[in-house]
Amino acid sequence: MTLSALLYGGKVDQLTSFFSLEFLAIFFPAALLLYGVVPKKCKPYVLLAESYVFVWLISGKLIVFLLLATLLIHYCGLWLDRLQINMRQALAEGESDARKVIRAHFTAKQRGVIALAVVLLIGTLLALKYSAFFAGNVNTLLSLFPVTLRLQVPQHLLPIGISFFTLQALSYILDVYRGTTKADDNLPRLALFLAFFPQIVEGPICRYHQTANALWNAGSIRFENLTQGLQRILFGMLKKIVIADRLDPLVKTVFSNHEAYDGAVIAVAAVCYTIQLYMDFSGAMDAVVGIAQIIGVSMPENFSRPFFSKTISEFWMRWHITLGTWFKDYVFYPITASKGMKKLTKRSRKTLGNHYGPLAAGSVALFCVWFCNGLWHGAAWNYLFFGMYHFVLILGGSLLTPVVRWLQRVLRIDPEQWWYRTLQMLRTTVLVIIGELFFRAHGLLAGLQMFERLLTDFSLQPLTDETWVDLGVDRYDLWIVAITLLLILFVSVYNEKGVSLRDHLSKKKRIFRWAVLYALIVYIVVFGAYGFGYAPVDPLYAQF
């Protein structure tokens, strides 16, 4: 595999999809077989080699960015560790009145190391992913003035997963600085933590303590893990191939030619895109979790039935969970815990009270989180708008909480009643769909035009005539999507109640278990949107 891989460096980008034949029929079985047959002490090295082969096949020479990020955090981590040991020694040996000076001296040095790592990691990401966006905007600004100066708009190729492994690298180095993680002197273990092949494409964004040791010490493949892992991959495949990819032609047609459609079609496309994105991304996460489960590693979950959320805040605790917690831990909390913000909270609490007081500092931190979140998704104004949209919704939700509680009291509404919760879920879903409309639109202007059409040019006629036939889907496609969504809803409702249907199934008789699995496999093979007549759809989050 390794020799032929050399020839195909950067040419096998089909591997970014865990459900491509290249991955499912060639890379994954070969990687699993190799991992399974080597002695236990070699397994982590084989896993690392496979991960690098994977990145090499997709990104070719751009793998160098992953290697440099690994070396950077490894040595910066050790440097920080050395500084912390020296500080402890100096504090132990130093006199009590000198301790403050010693601490300040070493803290400044550590901050210097952190600054170096952060600047290099974020700088690389900015240079590769955002320089074209910044240069384009500067040129737009310059065009307003009578100057001929223009910046050259650079076009860089991005190594696969740079947005994901950069955040993982940052979390490691910041955790070492905070003392919550010990610096790892084992370079291959740290390298595997960053490069583990299923996770590098679309996450989840793991913390060092969550996966590094688990991956390094992953043992032999156990039959139970193999079957459970494969079942999870199969479930992901159902979401991706049967639903997400089947909706792709409709979404692509409407979003690329939105001027031709009225509000109803745009609304349908926005709903379909939201479903597509969820099924695509959560399907890929099922594959990642399933692959890791096969080797006995438990990966953090990235989704927890987000469309059961009653508020937007709750939605973001259930959707792309690892990104949300990353921003919470490394942006939100550091800002709210900073001296300036603490002072602001103290002051505003006195004037605004206990509910609105902390919101002043919180809103500053929240703004930073959503600015970064929007920008992380892509270098375009519609992504920034998407971030700001959610910032406004979450902040608005917090500001209105006392009013809503008052209204509930006055109108004698029990917020736990089923109809009230259902309304809340529907409201949240509608708000999410509007956000996704801007997220998917080809630029902010297109998003605004589409949204305007939703409000001003809405009629149900296109849904009753044959308009949708020209959107790349037929009634059979829509039936299959609807049936499969019901199936997934059924599983999700049980999961929400804390019942795992997979565990339930594993206790059934073999004939029943196999019948269910056979049915699922045949369903995917027959009703999947792949092969002749379908364009392969790249994983949606791999582009971020």
Partner 1 sequence: MRQVSKHIGSAVMFLAGLLILLAAVSALLVPKTNAAGGGMRDPSANGILGEPANTIDVLFLGDSESYCAFVPLQLWEEQGITSYCCGTPAQKLCYAQTFLKKCFQKQAPKLVVLETNEIFRNFSAVDSLLQGSKLPILSLFDYHDRWKSLNSRDLNPGVSYTYMDSAKGYRFSATVAKASTKGYMDPDNQIARIPTKNYLSVETMKQFCELHNARLVLVSTPSTVNWNMKRHNAIQELSEALQLEFLDLNLMPEQVPIDWKTDSRDKGDHLNYFGAKKVTNYLGFYLAETGVLKNHKYDIQYKHWDAAAKEFSETIAKASTRKINIR
Question: Using CA atoms, how far apart are residues 223 and 231, in angstroms rounded to an integer?
Answer: 12
Query: Using H for helix, E for strand and C for coil, what is the string for 164-200?
Result: HHHHHHHHHHHHHHHCCCCCCCCHHHHHHHHHCHHHH
Q: Are 130 and 163 in contact (CB under 8 A)?
A: no
Give yes or no for residue 531 binding partner 1 (CB under 8 A).
yes
Give yes or no for residue 153 binding partner 1 (CB under 8 A).
no
Cβ closest to partner 1, residue 426 vs residue 515: 515
Give yes or no for residue 418 binding partner 1 (CB under 8 A).
no
**Cβ at position 452, least distance to partner 1 in Å:** 36
Q: Are 513 and 505 in contact (CB under 8 A)?
A: yes
CA-wise closest residue to 245 among 479, 522, 27, 527: 527
**Cβ at position 492, least distance to partner 1 in Å:** 26
Q: Give the per-residue contact string, 260-279, with partner 1 (x = CB under 8 A; - = no).
A: --------------------
Give, as one character, the DSSP assignment of residue 146.
T
CA-wise closest residue to 201 among 283, 117, 298, 274: 283
Site for partner 1 in 489-528 (CB under 8 A): 514, 517-518, 521-522, 525-528
Stretch that binds partner 1, among 14-22, 289-297, 335-343, 371-379 (CB under 8 A): 14-22
Cβ closest to partner 1, residue 139 vs residue 228: 228
Cβ closest to partner 1, residue 1 vs residue 364: 1
**Cβ at position 510, least distance to partner 1 in Å:** 8
Give, as one character, the DSSP assignment of residue 533.
T
**Cβ at position 71, least distance to partner 1 in Å:** 33
Tell me the residue length of the chain: 544
Backbone angles phi, psi at 377, to 5 degrees: -70, -25
**Cβ at position 159, least distance to partner 1 in Å:** 22
**Cβ at position 198, least distance to partner 1 in Å:** 20
**Cβ at position 530, least distance to partner 1 in Å:** 8
Residue matched to tokens 């991959």: 233
Cβ closest to partner 1, residue 14 vs residue 110: 14
Sign, CA dihedral 259-262-263-266, equals negative
Q: How many CB atoms lie within 10 A of CB 65?
A: 22
Of residues 476, 483, 496, 535, which one binds partner 1 by CB under 8 A? 476
Cβ closest to partner 1, residue 22 vs residue 314: 22
Q: Give the per-residue contact string, 209-238, with partner 1 (x = CB under 8 A; - = no).
A: --------------x---------------
Site for partner 1 in 110-129 (CB under 8 A): none
Cβ closest to partner 1, residue 65 vs residue 530: 530
Helix (H, G, I), strand (E, B) or coil at 262: coil
Rg (CA), the chain: 25
Q: How many CB atoms lie within 10 A of CB 45?
A: 13
Cβ closest to partner 1, residue 407 vs residue 505: 505
**Cβ at position 14, least distance to partner 1 in Å:** 8
Stretch that binds partner 1, among 18-26, 178-186, 187-195, 351-359 (CB under 8 A): 18-26
**Cβ at position 428, least distance to partner 1 in Å:** 35
Question: Using CA atoms, how far apart are residues 168 and 317, in angstroms rounded to an integer?
Answer: 19
**Cβ at position 525, least distance to partner 1 in Å:** 6
Structure tokens at 116: 């170096």
Question: Using CA atoms, how far apart are residues 274 and 13, in angstroms rounded to an integer?
Answer: 25
Cβ closest to partner 1, residue 176 vs residue 473: 473
Question: Using CA atoms, how far apart are residues 471 and 461, in angstroms rounded to an integer?
Answer: 15
Output b/e per residue, 369-407; b: 16+ Cβ within 10 A: bbebbbbbbbbbbbbbbbbbbbbebbbebbeeeeeeeee
CA-wise closest residue to 523 among 241, 230, 286: 241
Stretch that binds partner 1, among 117-125, 232-240, 408-416, 531-539 (CB under 8 A): 531-539
CA-wise closest residue to 463 among 254, 256, 279: 254
Q: Are 301 and 321 in contact (CB under 8 A)?
A: yes
Q: Are 48 and 188 in contact (CB under 8 A)?
A: yes
Cβ closest to partner 1, residue 149 vs residue 526: 526
Cβ closest to partner 1, residue 188 vs residue 536: 536
**Cβ at position 265, least distance to partner 1 in Å:** 23
Q: Are 150 and 141 in contact (CB under 8 A)?
A: no
Give yes or no for residue 21 binding partner 1 (CB under 8 A).
yes
**Cβ at position 477, least distance to partner 1 in Å:** 9
**Cβ at position 271, least distance to partner 1 in Å:** 23
Give yes or no for residue 25 binding partner 1 (CB under 8 A).
yes
Cβ closest to partner 1, residue 437 vs residue 537: 537
Of residues 26, 46, 135, 487, which one binds partner 1 by CB under 8 A? 26
Classify residue 24 by burial, with Cβ atoms within 10 Å: 0-12, 13-18, 19+. middle
Number of residues that bind partner 1 (CB under 8 A): 22
Cβ closest to partner 1, residue 223 vs residue 419: 223
Q: Give the per-residue contact string, 34-53, with partner 1 (x = CB under 8 A; - = no).
A: --------------------
For partner 1, the binding residues (CB under 8 A) are 14, 21-22, 25-26, 223, 474, 476, 514, 517-518, 521-522, 525-528, 530-534
